[in-house]
Structure 1
């Protein structure tokens, strides 16, 4: 890799020092708060400043290019005129027809002809009697001359030619004025500055207005969201008619508010139902214990204590279900991903639990594996079996299979009990819902078994539905398989 030149190293050093100085200034305890206060805070202001700054940079570069091209063309025109004048004077001198005062063409300031010894042999009237011009230096690649003899300073382009004459070589100096070029450059600079300022003002005004109109729906959304409290979840943000990012943002906000409203409603209903469900067994339990404490008959007291134990078990089961629901709700939709031998789990769960009111007929394949949580999937099957045992007349059937089309594991838990009315097939999965409240309480149901089972199926990426069969009701669970 080539070593940087001294100039390159100098430029880099200057940049580093400038950055360090800027960093120190912005970190200074007095400057930093000022910079922070002056920094624009609104998107509208920052967008307008960015647009104006971008346009200003473009205008500055374009104006510099225009002025440079204009200056180059004007100076080239002046130099061409001076060279042509010098060539004409040189031809006259070579032919011996050069007079003492050659005439000036339009745009030419002076003419001076000197011989080999530096003596003036011819000059325009404004330099008559003046000494020969001598170079005083260079500027822009051209020799400069002391032109105070003309009575005032001028920007000049001096063209110099050497010609051979019958009396010897002469040097011709022809000076052309750059006043026209300077005037044109000044006028063009003023015009570009005025047009640039007008364009910047126009861009700033249009950007400010357009940004304000674009952000007006955002401000409306912000104000509406700020006004929505935990008791006003039925309110919605206004959705613009345009099909753009802001409209999609409003739609997303309203969808989120729909979910929040549904969650709030479900939470309030759940709290009310849980309070009611806990209050009833607690009241019964307290009554039984108070009566047992004061009743004189030992047999009656024993019966009352036994009933209190049953209510305690029911209360414990309800509390366990509530805790499980809270855990399922707290998962946030994170799907368990442990491999589970569903065939073995179904066999173990269906055959466990001791004596049941009705026999369980089991149909399972050799091996079906799913991903999930074995404990929760076991709870799903246990809840479905308890529900089937509670409503069956003679038998309960458990069937596990694989859907050849989708590869899903299909678990059917059927009972030959009364069918469920189609209007109630979704309602039974709501928490604390009992189609026959008195019978469910007597049988020990809490109204949470089926909702827990559906939540577990949903958490595993599956579904739980109910459908009629020729001999009763079937609860069908579909779970994504692993291909085994």
Structure 2
């Protein structure tokens, strides 16, 4: 979009002067025409009156030159022709505005007329007066318009001054319009809203960069410490242990960087490869993946098929993030339920666990970047506090929403007659353990992943990180009570 930047002050002033000039010209032409017509009528009336007076004077025996002299004056001329052909007065020529001729009772003929120069002189005086008045009106209008436009555009000058002040680093200032129901008020209000949004985004970016730098400091420091220790040790056993630590810390830093990139991609606009997807099938695939990672963990998928139009890899990542978040919150003896249902025009996925839960005041905050409610557990698990923001971003990219809901509401939604309808599948032996280790490093079962994901596959977003989300506590309460509950709403496929 290219905005035309012609001077608004000049445009308004010239437009007003142009309109006034056209109006003045029209008024002058109209007044001139009306004056000419009225002058002609007045002359006709005066001439007729002179002719009537002439008849009266003749009755009073006024004759000849005396009669002509009495009738002449005030722009009226007389030509009197006696019965014997004698003429008195001024004989009219061709340049006569109007004339009236009458036969008098004594047999003489009188012609009264007005010269054109009389009316022309009056019109000239009028036009000169109108011209001077028009020039004066234009001069006054120009001066008044400059003052009025300057006052009218003062709010725009204030916006310019404020914008330049903010560009120099002064934050927090606003226009605060007294009224927002007119053009300048709406512009000023929109300007303030833009400043609120920009400064809020700037503040979030600064905080995020500072938090990310703080988070990266620990794994980078760990990598540095291990590398220095490797240079000083000669023991093969110790070197092997340090190599494992080096790999763990480097993976931790890599996961954080991957998640930062994932969030950036989501905010820039996530590209989705949509197809018809059954959320229940994705939930069952996530159960299989989790049991491969933790064979003894109690996790169940239940409900009814619910088909949505979405990217199966992205949706699988949401499920993986939520399931791993719940697994890390509850511990090895925890219980997690994934319940799929259809509610109106939405497919509903509710993930519940029997962990310590999320305090009501933190149910929205946990979706902020790098928020972790249990720092000690997250340091052990390697979580970065980015999983939930990523999961919510993916849900919203599908036209849905991810939220942390009240546990009592979730307990009603997920209650079933048999909570053990899908017991854990036994996984044993070295091959299974190797497969679990592979899953812990980012792999997912074939039913859950077949293409790269934002920030890595589902395991990279959550399962691989071992609870990197905005996790919700450290201990765990057991039993059938619901601790934390997350609800995903995605529009049903047509």
TM-score bucket of the superposed structures, by smaller chain = 0.7 to 0.9
Query: Structure 1 pair 373/173, CA: closer, same or farther in 2 (3 Å)?
Result: farther
Q: 1:24 corresponds to which residue? A: none
Q: 1:399 corresponds to which residue? A: 339
Query: Structure 1 pair 336/415, CA: closer, same or farther in 2 (3 Å)?
Result: same
The answer to whether the aligner puts 1:475 opposite 2:491 as a matched pair is no
**Offset, 1:55:** 1.2
Judge conservation of contact 1:461–1:479 (CA < 8 Å) in 2.
Answer: yes
Using structure 1 for the length normalisation, give the TM-score: 0.72
Q: 2:76 corresponds to which residue? A: 108
Q: 1:356 corresponds to which residue? A: 293
Mapped to 2, the partners of 1:458 and 1:67 lie a distance apart of 73
Judge conservation of contact 1:217–1:240 (CA < 8 Å) in 2.
Answer: no
Q: Which of 226, 245, 256 is the matching residue for 1:307?
A: 245
CA offsets 1:76-128 (integer angstroms, 9 cap, x no match): 332454467679989999xxx9976563635531316599xxxx92422345x
Q: Residue 14 of structure 2: SS of its match in structure 1?
A: helix
Q: Which of 31, 36, 40 is the matching residue for 1:66?
A: 31
CA offsets 1:220-268 (integer angstroms, 9 cap, x no match): 1111111113743x32232232343222222222221222222112112
Which runs of 5 or more residues in structure 1 are unaligned? 1-39, 128-132, 134-143, 146-154
Mapped to 2, the partners of 1:83 and 1:337 lie a distance apart of 99
**Offset, 1:325:** 1.0
Query: Structure 1 pair 56/449, CA: closer, same or farther in 2 (3 Å)?
Result: same
Q: 1:241 corresponds to which residue? A: 178
Question: Highest relative contact order (Cα 8 Å, sep 6+), 1 or 2?
Answer: 2
**Offset, 1:446:** 1.8
Count of residues in correspondence between the two structures: 406
Mapped to 2, the partners of 1:196 and 1:367 lie a distance apart of 79
Q: Residue 72 of structure 1: SS of its match in structure 2?
A: helix
Q: 2:42 corresponds to which residue? A: 77
Q: 1:6 corresponds to which residue? A: none
Q: Residue 301 of structure 2: SS of its match in structure 1?
A: strand
Q: 1:276 corresponds to which residue? A: 214
Judge conservation of contact 2:347–2:490 (CA < 8 Å) in 1.
Answer: yes
Q: 1:388 corresponds to which residue? A: 326
Q: Residue 433 of structure 1: SS of its match in structure 2?
A: coil
Mapped to 2, the partners of 1:166 and 1:438 lie a distance apart of 136
**Offset, 1:42:** 3.6
**Offset, 1:355:** 1.0
Q: 1:54 corresponds to which residue? A: 19
Judge conservation of contact 2:64–2:82 (CA < 8 Å) in 1.
Answer: no
Query: Structure 1 pair 160/194, CA: closer, same or farther in 2 (3 Å)?
Result: closer
Query: Structure 1 pair 253/335, CA: closer, same or farther in 2 (3 Å)?
Result: farther
Query: Structure 1 pair 206/443, CA: closer, same or farther in 2 (3 Å)?
Result: same
Q: 1:201 corresponds to which residue? A: 139
**Offset, 1:353:** 5.5
Q: 1:288 corresponds to which residue? A: 226
Query: Structure 1 pair 412/312, CA: closer, same or farther in 2 (3 Å)?
Result: same
Q: 2:450 corresponds to which residue? A: none
Mapped to 2, the partners of 1:347 and 1:113 lie a distance apart of 129
Q: Residue 472 of structure 1: SS of its match in structure 2?
A: coil
